[in-house]
Amino acid sequence: MLSRAARSGALRIGRILSCKRRFWPVLAVVITIIYLIASLSFMIQDKSLSSLGFVHNSDEQLEQLVGRTLPRVKDQPPSSCKANIEVVTHRTLGDGCFFKDRIQCEGMPTINSAFFDVVDRNVVFIGTLFQNESWINETFICEFPDSNVSLVDPVVIDDRSMGTQPQYVFVMTCPIPDIYFTSFLPHNLPDRLHVNLLENSTLFQSYRDVPLCKAGWNKVHYLAICTMVNNVDEYFDDWLLYYRYMGIDHVYVYDNSKDGTIIGVLDRFISLGFVTVIPWSHTFTPTKTYLEVQIAHENDCLWRHRHDTDWILKIDVDEFMQPMFETETRLVDFLHEFEQTLPPSIGIVRVRNWFFSRPSSNVSKEIMSGKSVIERNPWRSPEPTREGRGREKCFIRPQWVHYFKIHAMKLGGDSVTLDPQTEIRLVHYRSENPRHRNFRIHKFIPDNSMVNLWKSINRWVLFTKDRVVMYGYREHLYKT
């Protein structure tokens, strides 16, 4: 039984809340009190942890680990690394910033990107490497602007050789000092930081003043796309429309071209918040291929968005995911339902490749004059590409993948493969890709399923209230 005082207090609160005029002010006061109590308890806990030596940036702990006293930047010799670290910032990137080119120095890791993850409280460095590089066995230190330091976590070795020219990736992380977390809300962190990455044995090898931007911390997208492109501007309109219809929330385009014209091509989609264009014309090692840069971009995208996106589709602009169900189904609807049946350990969902093309002769003028790659190629190969031949593309859960390479997960959770006949297939118009103009399939099977789907999408464009379609496509077509 409630005491008389408790019943009286409950009745009084009930009367206050029953009055609409008083309800909102009282609610605001309650929320403010809860916020202040939570902030105070966090600071008390943070202070108590610091006094117990459990924080990452304890100099005493670090000095014990590395076996000597750690000098500050002003006491260190000039770095032998003359890496020119240029950062690209642009309205298309929002608060993000990216390296104009990778940074490299003898005895140091070659780094394609760096940022700070406010959820895991880490600085993240991503790059590629040759097998058995000497620096992999060294210890590294991150030094922050206030001279706090933290030890770089042990690097997980990527030793899986995939393909004829193996490309290896690495991710380095070092804890951000607790002093930067003065509130329990991650967005209160500064938008930019600079750190020094020091090789511990000498401190002579180092990258100084590496600029960092904050990676997303709250859930923004359910399903996004990451892709890297190079001079394929003319293919984007149809490809973006197709995936908008399929329920894609956002598209991250890593631009590997030198001229950067794609920003102008995609300007209306950028302004509508559907596309982000990231300059990524990084140099690759002469003995390697552009795939080295591609692998770096994939892992950058996965690690930057591991906390703000549930699923990322890694795909190229000549590839279209086609649902194969009896009733017309969007990718996002399938994924929402399919996700309920998946074990929580699943890192990727693989989709098998199926080539579409057209014969070199006896093709009608109507087909050849089709405005889209879909309309010009209503034939397919008899069977999908065999599984494991390096043609699959994947839906990726970023938090369950540590290393990824183009068609497969190199290190992470479990995987599952969809049936290309009854679930989803990857329709691949490879012969229309400028890089593969000579590609041919040897037997052609008529298949109008994608053409019919494309007609449905074009009808949808006329009536949908989707903002991106209304102002990115419908209004654009009207003006032109």
pLDDT in tens, 48-94: 333 323 334 445 555 555 555 555 555 555 556 766 677 776 666 65
Would you give per-residue pLDDT tens digits along the chain (480 residues)?
Answer: 445 555 555 555 555 555 555 666 667 677 777 766 655 544 443 333 333 233 344 455 555 555 555 555 555 555 567 666 777 766 666 566 888 889 888 888 999 999 988 888 899 999 988 777 888 888 899 998 878 889 998 888 776 665 556 678 889 999 988 877 765 455 556 778 889 998 887 767 789 889 888 887 667 899 999 999 887 878 889 999 999 999 999 999 998 888 777 888 888 898 888 999 988 888 887 767 677 888 889 999 999 999 999 999 999 999 999 999 988 889 999 999 999 999 988 989 999 999 999 888 888 889 888 889 999 999 999 999 988 777 899 999 998 888 888 777 777 888 899 999 999 999 999 877 766 667 778 889 999 999 999 999 999 999 999 999 988 887 666 554
Element of type H or E holding 172: strand 168-175
According to DSSP, the β-strands at 140-143 and 149-151 are antiparallel
For 235, 249, 374, 469, the CA distances from 474, given in Å and listed in that order, are 18, 19, 20, 6
The pTM (predicted TM-score) of the whole model is: 0.82
Instruction: Specify whether the CB–CB gap between 198 and 81 falls below 8 A.
Output: no
CB distance 156 to 394 below 8 Å? no
Provide the 3-class DSSP secondary structure of residue 171.
strand
Handedness of CA 420, 424, 425, 426 (dihedral sign): negative
Side-chain half-sphere of 467: how many Cα atoms within 13 Å?
A: 8
